Structure 1
Amino acid sequence: MKVRFIYLRNIAVFILFCLPLSGSGQPEWKAELLDEKLEAIREATKTVGYSVAVVRGDKVIYAKGFGYRDLAQQLKADVNTVYPIGSTSKAFTVALLGLMVEEKGLKFSDSPRKYLPELEFYNDDLNANVTILDMVSHRTGLPRHDYSWYLFPTENRDSLLARVKYQEPFTGLREQWHYNNFMYLAQGMITEKLTGKSWEENIEERFFAPLKMVTSSLNIEGLKQQKNAAKGYSLKDFTTNELMPYYNIAAISPAGSINSSVGEMANWLRIWLNEGKLDDTQVLPKSYLLRAVNPLMLVGTGMPDANFPDQHLNSYGYAWFVSSYKGQYRMEHGGNIDGFSANVSIFPANDLGIVVLANQNGSALPALARDIIADEFLGLKATDRVAYYNEMLDKLMEQQKTAKANKLSSRVANTSPSHTLNEYTGVYHHPGYGAFSITLKNDSLWGQLPREKIYLKHLHYDVFETVPVTNGIVADEEDGGLNLNFQANDQGDITGAKIKLEPTLDPISFTRTPTVTEVSSDVLASYAGSYALAGAALKVSLADGGLTLLVPGQPEYTLSPVSKNEFVIKGLPGYKAKFDTTSSPVKLILIQPNGTFSAEKQ
């Protein structure tokens, strides 16, 4: 990231007086019992460490760390431990827009193209009708397309935004709720256009500074500078915690790049519970808070389901999920990025805020701990969240077992690729995602994406499974992920690969550009000359270290080698030239969509 931050020396330390709140109209609670419940859920979920803070009105009434921020070094997590907070960053980005309403005349009903004319959607209807509010509430009809930024990251926001034009929607505008991080990239860029400052500078100046968030940062480099930073972990096979590297989300940062502690996030909660103020400083306009506590789009049916029986009327608003939890009005948002999970929640009618930050990848713990805390402080009938988690875990393990069995049964035995492995090599590209290369080494195919290497394991026919490679070591084949289904044209040449990147859409088609092979100048020179084809003279010439082909009445074509004696004709998809040196004289074989033609060297 371009922005560097200066950190103050003193870090706020909360002195907690965990006394019963009797006489204040609030339910009584005991810190020791709450500690026990929160430690029990950490042990049940096998989370390495996490931190929580609870705000009542304008005061932090409970804050504590559990477990470890660093497992190997046995370093304890505390209220000042810094974690990536993932998508709970989104509320900060929308809040910047709330400031722009007051200061720059922005309207949530405006078209985003008013501020970002370079933003183009997949079709004219979206271009003409999408509003900023549609992007805020995830109702554009665009599904996630998250693999675009996750597997093909870039630090250039303009180039990332340009991918939206090629990303297909799943439904029409405002028909269904579909989460999309690119729409939050666009919101961050709108604030950049209006202020002339980067999103990072705006967050730092408008929120971090007045909220005294002195150890909070906006990129991985900022996180690494903190002595009290948590390390991230992945729970393998629901049993073993493995260290997981930090992930730099680069240009998509307005959707989720903030790093913070529960101690500093407590100040963010305080302004939501105090009409936008921290002490005497007005950080957010009261008018924005009155707007932002409301839902905008129903998520699903709004009915309770088996997984979440305690909540209903599930909706989405201004970067908050809004629902009724056991009859209490709740705003909350989760966050997940490699090695870390988070949840920030507000019960505005109860004057209560909760933040939970954990160093476990894709973890259920933040939501479970949040509910334990909410039951305690709101005086609700407590749910045994350890038993609830164990029941859900049993279901999840059974689902994974079934999925593995289905995967194995779907394989077709005794099949082989339709081409030699070298014919699958090349660069594969999709304008809405990015490019990756496939190479051949040691009789195996390997893929290289911007952020990771993969081994391509043959499944059946022309379908290969991707298996991660870490530090040169191929993961267990059971950990295989996406499948590549290679496609061929009418001549049988491999022209691309389809990958199922969105569960709601057809597979995404990546177009192949064959790998250019190095051929010695002596071999190339041996191909140069005139070739007779049906009375016409074709001329192959050596130029600039390569070959060109001149057909009477046509422009001169460049021949790009894909093997020692086989070339693709640039600008003519499906056309190839092959030199047969086993015959005398040498033959030039032209492979075209309308047939194969042979010309003899003169």
Structure 2
Amino acid sequence: MLLALPTTVFSILLQLSVALQTPFTSLGKPKDALISPRTDSYIKGLLTKWNSTGLSVAVVRKDAKTPTGWRHEFGSYGIARGDGTPITPDTVFAVASNSKLFLALSVGLLISNETLAKERGKKIKWTTKARELIPEWGLMDEDMHRGTSLQDMLSHRTGLPRHDYSGVARDGGIAEMISTLRYLRPSAEFRETFQYNNLMYETLSYLPQLLLNQTYESYVQEHLFDPLNMTSSTFSVKEAEERGTMADGFQWSMRDLTQGINGTLVPTIPYFQRPGEEKIWAGAGGVLTSARDLAVWVSMLLNNGRHPYTNETIVPEEVIEHVATGLTVSEGKASDPEFSPKVYGAGQWRFAYQGHEIIEHGGNNPGYKTQVARFPNDNLAIISLSNEANGGFLMEAVKYRIADEILGLKEVVWNDRFEKLYNKLVNETQQITPRPDPPLKPSAPLPDLAKKTFSHPTYGALQPCLVHSSIETTGPSVHTHDHCSSVLNSHSVQRILGATNLSIPTFIIPWKRAFATHLRLRHFSGNLFNVTVIWTNAEVRAKEGLSLSGKDKGDSIIGLDEHFEVEWVHGEDEGLAFKGGFWGKEGPDSREPGGEGKESAEAWFALQR
């Protein structure tokens, strides 16, 4: 059984919607339907079991017996928006990292551009070094700086971990972002291991601008969206919102699984990135699209780069083959008996499931989970788009059920495994080290922390604000930064503090970036603190005239149970050493920094003197 989740108005709407809906093509469907009545019923049951909001499914199969040569079937389940609007095949989702294949193919198109090669007097290759093309390029490690090729960046083998929290809108755009990469600490040697890194994909989105004086977004529009008539697809949040077909992303606001608090499922309104901000992650995760558009997209991929209906070449076949070929081992050992080890090419994983090859990628944005998978040897593709933060397990269970049925494979009850895995993850989240009683005192009085500014050349500046009710002090209250009074009294911080044990000395740091708005520091013992990265949309809602309470559930507070570690290092090199997974290392051969103090930092914020 899943852990019990609260029933909300949205789950009621969901149950009603699921009861009324059927797959898009289910009425009068043939016996060999790609989404069978049995699978349709199974999906509806899973949506209720996981208390999830909505799911858009597309199944594609090449079939010479049909007039077009292709079968596209759609299943639409649950609600797209908080007002109960149902999902349809044209509902637009943020597909997140499923955007990476668009970036990888854009690089392939530049490489195959003979006109560009003649103008430059030199052909671009997959092995071309980043420093040869990008003036702003630089990495901390000299081997990485000099040796990193376009292929290394696409295959996640530079040695650099995620460092996602360094992602922030910059006045100088992508060029400025690239110029700050040199200050990010690596966690492995160059080409030593697989380490997923969004920043490398963002860097590559700069190539059309450098080489053609054209934005990346317009390049993809011209060469991929338009030729395939993907009319729902865009990078523009403004455009997607004005069309009125975009799904709300639902998240569990105020969830803190470390305390056993599930939170409340609410729609993230407005979309977590506002117009203009989406450029931060356009190459790594910026595509907004629908199941119907993606059905054409995967048909082109299955058709070796040719348009599924006209047979016109959209992407050269050698590019399609190259990006799908695994170069980096991400899982050297199969996770389940049905799988093979996994390799990563460019924007795609490749592995086998019950003897059938899969080429796929997932996506994860606040409130959205997506999966686009194709079985190249079976002329089959399965697209799953969820608008709920926990929709990943649901999508995977649906994908494999459809594959098992269509390909006549042994039917594995994947949902049972996923339920066990989910409950295991929840239990592990609750296994936290208790704070010592009494805790050790830090090397300097805790209020002194609120008098200081710490900075990192890529991550930016931190100015802690002391929550006075969390600490016993003598004398007048300490407010050293001009913003602290307004920050601590803001609607969002008051909600954060309402979910915080203020018997522990606490600091709040405003920290606006793509996936965060605040840091919450709580003293643990000695010079160590627990830090929580929190995202809230209260300020954006207020700015755009939306309520902070009421029928649309108001603002969201996300991330209360995501904890890292910070050490307040004293001495000649004073600063804050962020560690405990803050940099997002993932590779099997990656390493923690080790050492003490500054040397132990995954990201080092030095004291500004």
Structure 2 length-normalised TM: 0.74
Structure 2 distance, partners of 1:346, 1:142, is 29
Structure 1 segment 388-467 matched on structure 2, within 5 A: 388-402=417-431, 404=432, 407-408=433-434, 411=436, 413-417=438-442, 418-440=444-466, 442=468, 445-451=507-513, 452-467=517-532
| Residues 1:318 and 2:346 aligned together | yes
The answer to whether the Cα contact below 8 Å between 1:231 and 1:243 also exists between their aligned partners in 2 is yes
Q: 1:20 to 1:238 in 2, by over 3 A?
A: farther
Greater Cα radius of gyration, structure 1 or 2? 1
Q: Which has the higher strand share?
A: 1
- Residue 450 of structure 1 aligns with an amino acid whose one-letter code is K
Tell me the distance in 1 between the aligned counterparts of 2:420 and 2:355: 24
Secondary structure of 2:136's partner? coil
Secondary structure at 2:76's aligned position in 1? strand
The change in CA–CA distance for 1:73 and 1:330 in structure 2 (over 3 A counts) is same
Q: CA deviation at 1:496?
A: 1.5
Using the alignment, how far apart are the partners of 2:34 and 2:142 within structure 1?
A: 57
- One of 478, 501, 505 as aligned partner of 2:592: 505
**1:155-179 CA distance string (max 9 Å, x none):** 6111111121111222222221111
CA root-mean-square deviation: 2.6
Alignment match of 1:357 (pick from 372, 380, 385)? 385
- What SS is found at the alignment partner of 1:19? coil
State the Cα distance separating 1:135 from its structure 2 match: 0.9
How has the CA–CA distance of structure 1 residues 433 and 374 changed in structure 2, closer, same or farther, with 3 Å as cutoff?
Answer: same
Query: Is 2:313 the partner of 1:282?
Result: yes
For structure 2, which runs of at least 5 residues remain unmatched after alignment? 1-22, 63-68, 117-122, 256-260, 469-476, 478-505, 540-554, 586-590, 594-600
What is the DSSP-based 3-state SS (H/G/I as helix, E as strand, rest coil) of the residue aligned with 2:91?
A: coil
TM-score, structure 1 normalization: 0.75
Deviation at 1:462, TM superposition (A): 3.0
1:134-149 alignment, distance < 5 Å = 134-149=152-167
Contact 1:53/1:63 (CA < 8 Å) preserved in 2? yes
**3-state SS of the aligned residue for 2:303?**
coil
Cα offset for 1:416? 4.1
Which one-letter code corresponds to 1:64 in the other structure? G
CA drift at 1:258: 0.5
Residue matched to 2:489: none
Alignment-mate amino acid for residue 76 of structure 2: G
Tell me, in whole angstroms, the C-alpha distance in 2 between the residues paired with 1:456 and 1:161: 29
Counterpart in the other structure of 2:598:
none
Which secondary structure state, in structure 2, belongs to the residue aligned with residue 445 of structure 1?
A: strand
User: Contact 1:298 / 1:316 at 8 angstroms: preserved in 2?
Assistant: yes
> 1:484: which partner in 2?
566
Q: Is the 1:232–1:340 Cα contact (8 Å) retained in structure 2?
A: yes
**Contact 2:56/2:74, CA 8 A, preserved across alignment:** yes
Residue in 2 aligned with 1:555? none
The structure 2 residue matched to 1:164, chosen from 176, 181, 192, is: 181
Query: Could you tell me how far apart the structure 2 residues matched to 1:269 and 1:497 are?
Result: 46
Give the SS at the match of 1:214. Answer: coil
Q: CA 1:371/1:425 → structure 2, altered by over 3 Å: closer, same or farther?
A: farther
2:48 aligned partner, one-letter code:
E
Distance 1:455 1:136, change over 3 A: closer
Q: Percent identity?
A: 23
Report deviation, 1:495: 2.9
Q: How far, CA to CA, are the matches of 2:342 and 2:107 in structure 1? A: 24
Relative to structure 1, the CA distance from residue 170 to residue 421 in structure 2 (aligned partners, 3 Å threshold; closer, same or farther) is same
Aligned residue runs from structure 1 range 205-224, under 5 A: 205-224=222-241
Report what 2:372 is aligned to.
344
In the alignment, residue 33 of structure 1 is paired with which amino acid? R
**Any gaps of 5 or more consecutive residues in structure 1?**
1-12, 22-27, 514-572, 574-602
Q: What is the CA–CA distance in structure 1 between the aligned matches of 2:353 and 2:281, rounded to whole Å?
A: 31
| Matching residue's letter, 1:56 | R
SS in 1 for 2:286: coil
User: For 1:545-584, what aligned pairs fall within 5 Å after superposition?
Assistant: none
**Any idea what SS the aligned residue of 1:353 has?**
strand
Shift of 1:238: 5.5
Give the whole-Å Cα distance in 2 for the aligned partners of 1:414 and 1:30.
58
Partners in 1 of 2:219 and 2:34 — Cα distance? 39
Provide the residue aligned with 2:111 in structure 1: 101
Which of 92, 96, 110 is residue 86 of structure 1 equivalent to? 96
Instruction: Give the 3 Å change call, closer, same or farther, for CA 83–30 of structure 1 in structure 2.
Output: closer
Counterpart of 1:225 in 2: which secondary structure? helix
Change (3 A) 1:64 1:478: closer
Q: Separation in 2 of the partners of 1:469 and 1:99?
A: 37
Q: Secondary structure at the match of 1:69?
A: coil
Distance in 2, Cα, partners of 1:360 & 1:315: 28
Larger RCO (CA within 8 A; separation ≥ 6)? 2
Deviation at 1:213, TM superposition (A): 1.5
Matched, 1:180 2:191: no
CA distance in 2 between counterparts of 1:480 and 1:129 reads 35
Moved more, 393-402 or 78-87: 393-402
Q: Deviations 1:24-59 (Å, cap 9, x if unpaired)?
A: xxxx76621111122222223222111010111252
1:153 deviates by: 4.0
Distance 2:95 2:364 in 1: 7
Instruction: Find the counterpart in structure 2 of residue 304 from structure 1.
Output: 334
Name the SS for the 1:210 alignment partner. Answer: coil
The one-letter code of the counterpart of 1:38 is I
CA gap 1:253/1:182 in 2 versus in 1, 3 angstroms? same
Residue 381 of structure 1 pairs with residue 383 of structure 2:
no
Q: 1:166-223 deviations in whole A, cap 9, x for unaligned?
A: 1122222222111111111122112322221011111111111111121221143333
Matches within 5 A, 1:319-334: 319-334=347-362
Q: What SS does the corresponding residue of 1:36 show, helix, strand or coil?
A: helix
Structure 2 matches for 1:70-85, cutoff 5 A?
70=81, 72-85=82-95
Q: Deviations over 1:457-490 (max 9, x none)?
A: 3222233333547449997996363333212225
User: 1:498 and 1:102, CA in 2 relative to 1: closer, same or farther beyond 3 A?
Assistant: same
Distance between the aligned counterparts of 1:479 and 1:335, measured in 2? 21
Aligned residues: 483
The CA distance in 1 between the partners of 2:364 and 2:34, in whole Å, is 30
How many angstroms apart in 1 are the aligned matches of 2:186 and 2:561? 29
Which amino acid in 2 is paired with 1:366? M
